[in-house]
Amino acid sequence: MLQLELKEFLDTKVALYNNPKFIDSDPIQIPHQFKLKEDIEIAGFLTATIAWGNRKSIINNAKRMMQLLDNAPYHFVMSHKDSDLQALSSFVHRTFNGTDFISFIKGLQHIYTNHGGLQSVFFKHIKDSSLQYAIHRLKQLFFEIEHLQRTQKHISDPLKNSAAKRINMFLRWMIRNDNKGVDFGIWHTISPTLLSCPLDVHSGNVARKLGLLTRRQNDAKALLELDHTLRKLDPIDPVKYDFALFGLGVFEGF
């Protein structure tokens, strides 16, 4: 397939899946329950953190997360008492348990109290026309709090060759703003040109079949290759193609 034909094909798929109907079957529905910027950020971050496995299970458990945070995640993060955290201890999503959840609430409080919030951390650590180093720094700052070593595995590190799929998905949610009603686009200080495609089994397999990606592993090196390819197709909004790759893989079995 020639590049122009490929672009036209993918643009058609973006138009098909990048619309509000997509929300009903996607974890992005959780932050869409909120209006306050910080609620959207925190709900999005926590939802993205557990976004692996069965999608229905992800959505149900993310809803439970919000219920445990009194459906006011920012207020809970900033104002909770130690006694309030006990209710979180029963939470489980795959390997993310109540102890991890409690550490994430403390980590988020630390980020908002001492580092200006999630948006500020990512904006301050943009490097080499990418947000991958900023993800690395977020992890470092997030775990300045006291925590169990096991909890660190729930934030990926691109500098350790991770594709960091879930955080890149979260960043797409926060930064892309195309007025289609799916992504929020509330982080105006960060350009969507810096975004990287959330790379997982589905998007990786489709990208390889279409000749967008040659590397076999879904790691940081593969992400860099896919970034380079997608930015050729659309240097302004390269990550819109996540909708096409994901839709082709999950909904069409491409």
Distance CA 212, CA 146 (A): 42
- What is the crossing angle of helices 220-233 and 3-17, to 10°? 100
Helix (H, G, I), strand (E, B) or coil at 127: strand
E-state strands within 23-136:
92-93, 96-97
116-130 burial: b if 16+ Cβ within 10 Å, else e = ebbbebbeebbeeeb
pLDDT digits (tens, 9 = 90+) for 110-141: 999 999 999 999 999 999 999 999 999 999 99
In the DSSP assignment, the letter for residue 56 is H
Q: What is the pTM (predicted TM-score) of this model?
A: 0.96
Place 1 in a pLDDT band, splitting at 50, 70 and 90.
low
Helix (H, G, I), strand (E, B) or coil at 251: coil
Per-residue confidence (pLDDT) for residue 12, from 0 to 100: 97
Per-residue confidence (pLDDT) for residue 23, from 0 to 100: 95
